[in-house]
Structure 1
Amino acid sequence: MGKHLFETYKFHSFINKAIEELGFYEPTEIQKKMIPLALNGESAIGQSQTGTGKTHAYLLPVIQSIDPNLAEVQAVITAPTRELASQIYHEALKILKFQQDEPSVTARCFIGGTDKQRAIEKLKQQPHIVIGTPGRINDLVREQALFVHKAHMLVIDEADLMLDMGFLYDVDQFAGKMPKDLQMLVFSATIPEKLKPFLKKYMENPQYVHVQPKQISAEKIEHVLVPLKSRTKIDLVYDMLKALNPYLAIVFTNTKVKAEEVADALIEKGLKVGRIHGDLTPRERKKMMKQIRDLEFQYIVATDLAARGIDIEGVSHVINYELPMDLDFYVHRVGRTARAGLSGIAVTIYEPSDEDALAKLEKMGIEFVHRDLVKDEWVDLPDRNKRKKRTKQMDEIEQKARALIRKPKKVKPGYKKKMKEQIEKIKKRQRRLQKRK
């Protein structure tokens, strides 16, 4: 392979070696915009969807900025979920393993649900890079086991999710102990109003980078709508999963209770089903993620935690058992499939009450195909909006016909009947023309 385009950033040779081994050739849009700013020591807010390559947009400059001769914490990277923090840590290790010089850059991961005492033991030697969840990092700082007062960089990943989950308080606690000239990199899919005071507090005139998703969802996703009709939802989901025979499918529900209910019902029907939601204990979640990675399940039932906070490889199908309350999450959900250039299918079960939400998604640029499952066979259905379009067309023909007929100044007897007949003639002609077109 020729030279990769990351070489213009003048990274350390071990980082360049890692980039080559990872098969990266050209930086993604968020990387092109964020890496130079980060290397320049500037604070920045990067707004982009999941799957745009943002992890390496901060990991590469963070690792580049470390002085391995200083035995102190120099950068803190924090993420809202344990799974996401672990994933970032594993991505960092994939780069750090190419180091050959001593002293080398060290990274440690600290997340809730693990033995705190053991974490404190390990901190007898402070790592250069700390990666973890806000609660655990804050705990270790409070216990005076972790010293962040000299760290020059703070990265906050999935900041809007941090806000939703109530973790900004913890970040605020330890960020307040960091140097005044702290460089902060914030990544978020959305920038809610409630996030702005926090950003203002720590960032003076940050650079703002917004990477528009090229299209609202990956090109290679087929969005399928299936009407519920008079069936029970669980039977329909079961039949669909059997008919699709996915490599790996995630069935999304809006609540933990519903996720449990759906998973139990599918297990009762004989499927081997994994589940991911906020009520699992840390141990259960860790075990579940391991089983999913080891491909023990073909089916997973999950809440939106899995749409944002967890990266699962090889998802071929996403099924929306119900549409999310916040329609932005539709994009996050379906974004679990068709990653890294692969194709994927997103199937949504809908009822008449979902029409408004579907219309909004269509306005956002999602193009649905309309299908049904009849006796284990997929059947194409007519466009849902056909009737609406036809009525609209008829109204337009009516208006055109009326406009073509002038009302006479003096109205003779039988005028209304004649007018009606003329309108009908013109309408027939218009319809014929329409058909020919």
Structure 2
Amino acid sequence: MGIDMKADNFKRFNLKSYLIEALSEQGFQLPTDIQERLIPAIKNGKDVIGQSQTGTGKTLAFLLPIIDKIDLSKHEVQAVITAPTRELASQLFNELKKLVDVANEEQRVHVKLLVGGTDRQRIVEGMKVQPQIVVGTTGRLADLVQDQVLHVHTAKMLVVDEADQMLDMGFIDDVDRIASRMDEQLQMMVFSATIPEKLQPFLKKYMNDPRHVQVQPNQVAAKKIEHRIVPLRHRAKLDFVAELAKSINPYLAIIFTNTKEQADEVANKLLHEGLNVERLHGGLQPRARKQVMRLVNEVKVQYLVATDLAARGIDIKGVSHIINYNLPQDLDFYIHRVGRTARAGADGIAFTIFEPEDQQAIEKLIKRGISFTYADYKQGKWIMLDRPPLGVPGKRKGVNRQTVDSRPHKKVAKVNTGGKAVAKPKKVKPGYKKKAKRLQDEQAKRQRRQKK
């Protein structure tokens, strides 16, 4: 009954039977809003703009109709899907493979992933037979097109995923180079959380009366996320984030920083404290980033220190906690960051370390509908407050202090211990306070020497 219901819901789009089977195997029950509104338009050849946040189902909204439209009799490039980062391109490709691999040999679409950090000569050798769908990063695709290794003049479908991020990272020119070589009757599909004014000239150049669908999430952030503000006060920030990280016993925690330099500082600090930590930012070599994602997906990492690279589009499962080492300059990224947790019906906690300069940003998030709780972490205990601490925006009520547990999940925290999953100790190790005080003193001494 369950599988029939799933099949019936997607059968309305007249998709190939193996796509219905693939959706049923993955447990998709109902098309999402953006899928309902865009799949028919894409099937009918319309240019589309899908404006939505992460988690609305936009990936299937373009993958399903693109696969369905591929002419298997033509062994040539028919669709190009671009992404701003290797991680996002790889994720899109993996979702694509889940759909096409269900088909038998005769019905299977030939797909290819083309990203930087891979052996170019091997790519060239593998392109003797052109794939029907290509997924890749803009720089690698543009170079292969320029060198006539990838033949996109036959392609009539182009997807630009995370277009606003493409613009911010300076990749729109590469997309332009690719699009200019494609079929004149090009169908362009643009997906983005926001549509900046600077993106308009590019859209007008290639799009013809696009169907613009804007899907707003039911709430600004998932209902089951607790947004907790923790004031830094007089404490050294690196020491404090390490204390905070130790206190939460996460299944998987992502600690967000604004720069790769900060990410390295925080990751090095947590490593020094003996925590199971990896880092993910644009300064890493492609092979290293791929290795980190593999460890994360295999649940061999308990703390991931990342820049916003990991907040947009990349699907990291099992995140129980978010820690904002600092607030992002673009507050839309706050929503993307906290959206990594409380997925698939689970709950989660998003901590923000508050400093006085963050007051205006917090006020803006409150106006957007984010409801914060207020707490402090002292002497190894969390103390919840009914009113915000001094300097933190929010309604000030009577004080009600209570010690709470900061662990949203009852899952065992899996760490890499020779292949065995064990629970992280809940109690503070003996002598921890002395060690923390000693490390804080050492940090203060280093800072004084640097000032000299």
**Pairwise TM-score range, normalised by the shorter structure:** 0.7 to 0.9
User: Conserved in 2, the CA contact under 8 Å of 1:69 and 1:103?
Assistant: no
Letter of the structure 2 residue corresponding to residue 341 of structure 1: G
Once residues 154 and 232 of structure 2 are traced to their aligned partners in structure 1, the CA distance between those partners, rounded to angstroms, is 58
Once residues 190 and 120 of structure 2 are traced to their aligned partners in structure 1, the CA distance between those partners, rounded to angstroms, is 27
User: Conserved in 1, the CA contact under 8 Å of 2:77 and 2:130?
Assistant: yes
1:3 aligns with 2:2: no
2:113 to 83, 105, 109: 109
* Match runs of 1:72-151 below 5 Å: 72-100=76-104, 102=106, 104-151=108-155
Give the superposition deviation at 1:3: 2.0
Give the superposition deviation at 1:341: 2.2
- 1:169 and 1:241, CA in 2 relative to 1: closer, same or farther beyond 3 A? same
Once residues 240 and 312 of structure 1 are traced to their aligned partners in structure 2, the CA distance between those partners, rounded to angstroms, is 21
Letter of the structure 1 residue corresponding to residue 61 of structure 2: A
What secondary structure is seen at the aligned counterpart in 1 of 2:254? strand
What secondary structure is seen at the aligned counterpart in 1 of 2:12? helix
Q: Which residue of 2 aligns with 1:381?
A: 385
Once residues 30 and 343 of structure 1 are traced to their aligned partners in structure 2, the CA distance between those partners, rounded to angstroms, is 24
Q: Which structure carries more helix by proportion?
A: 1
Once residues 20 and 389 of structure 1 are traced to their aligned partners in structure 2, the CA distance between those partners, rounded to angstroms, is 47
Once residues 144 and 346 of structure 2 are traced to their aligned partners in structure 1, the CA distance between those partners, rounded to angstroms, is 41
Give the superposition deviation at 1:376: 2.0
Letter of the structure 1 residue corresponding to residue 221 of structure 2: S
Give the superposition deviation at 1:385: 8.2
Q: Which residue of 1 aligns with 2:217?
A: 213
Give the superposition deviation at 1:289: 1.2
Root-mean-square deviation (CA, aligned residues, Å) is 1.6
1:301-346 deviation digits (Å, cap 9, x = unpaired): 1111111153211111000011111111100111111122221110
1:125-148 deviation digits (Å, cap 9, x = unpaired): 011100000111111111111111
2:273 to 269, 276, 282: 269
1:165 aligns with 2:192: no
Give the superposition deviation at 1:33: 1.1
1:339 aligns with 2:354: no
- 1:389 and 1:65, CA in 2 relative to 1: closer, same or farther beyond 3 A? closer
Q: Which residue of 1 aligns with 2:283?
A: 279
- 1:390 and 1:89, CA in 2 relative to 1: closer, same or farther beyond 3 A? closer
User: Conserved in 1, the CA contact under 8 Å of 2:233 and 2:355?
Assistant: yes
Q: Which residue of 2 aligns with 1:320?
A: 324
Letter of the structure 2 residue corresponding to residue 360 of structure 1: K
The count of aligned residue pairs is: 391
Q: Which residue of 2 aligns with 1:155?
A: 159
1:103-162 deviation digits (Å, cap 9, x = unpaired): 531110000111111111111001110000011111111111111111111011000011
1:47 aligns with 2:51: yes
Q: Which residue of 1 aligns with 2:71?
A: 67
User: Conserved in 2, the CA contact under 8 Å of 1:107 and 1:127?
Assistant: yes
Once residues 249 and 103 of structure 1 are traced to their aligned partners in structure 2, the CA distance between those partners, rounded to angstroms, is 41
1:195 aligns with 2:199: yes
Letter of the structure 1 residue corresponding to residue 346 of structure 2: L
What secondary structure is seen at the aligned counterpart in 2 of 1:3? helix
Give the superposition deviation at 1:352: 2.2
- 1:385 and 1:230, CA in 2 relative to 1: closer, same or farther beyond 3 A? closer
Letter of the structure 1 residue corresponding to residue 263 of structure 2: A
Letter of the structure 2 residue corresponding to residue 81 of structure 1: T
Once residues 45 and 388 of structure 1 are traced to their aligned partners in structure 2, the CA distance between those partners, rounded to angstroms, is 37
Once residues 152 and 327 of structure 1 are traced to their aligned partners in structure 2, the CA distance between those partners, rounded to angstroms, is 36
Taking structure 2 as the reference length, what is the TM-score of the superposition? 0.84
Give the superposition deviation at 1:53: 0.9
Give the superposition deviation at 1:31: 0.8
Once residues 172 and 353 of structure 1 are traced to their aligned partners in structure 2, the CA distance between those partners, rounded to angstroms, is 39
Once residues 337 and 388 of structure 1 are traced to their aligned partners in structure 2, the CA distance between those partners, rounded to angstroms, is 24
Letter of the structure 1 residue corresponding to residue 268 of structure 2: D
Give the superposition deviation at 1:374: 2.2
Taking structure 1 as the reference length, what is the TM-score of the superposition? 0.87
User: Conserved in 1, the CA contact under 8 Å of 2:52 and 2:191?
Assistant: yes
Structure 1 unaligned segments of length 5 or more: list them. 392-437
Greater Cα offset, 382-391 or 86-95: 382-391
User: Conserved in 2, the CA contact under 8 Å of 1:80 and 1:309?
Assistant: no
Q: Which residue of 2 aligns with 1:29?
A: 33
1:289 to 275, 293, 301: 293
Once residues 290 and 63 of structure 1 are traced to their aligned partners in structure 2, the CA distance between those partners, rounded to angstroms, is 27
Larger C-alpha radius of gyration, 1 or 2?
A: 1
Once residues 389 and 211 of structure 2 are traced to their aligned partners in structure 1, the CA distance between those partners, rounded to angstroms, is 43
Once residues 102 and 204 of structure 1 are traced to their aligned partners in structure 2, the CA distance between those partners, rounded to angstroms, is 35
* Match runs of 1:333-372 below 5 Å: 333-372=337-376
Once residues 328 and 104 of structure 1 are traced to their aligned partners in structure 2, the CA distance between those partners, rounded to angstroms, is 39
Once residues 287 and 329 of structure 1 are traced to their aligned partners in structure 2, the CA distance between those partners, rounded to angstroms, is 25
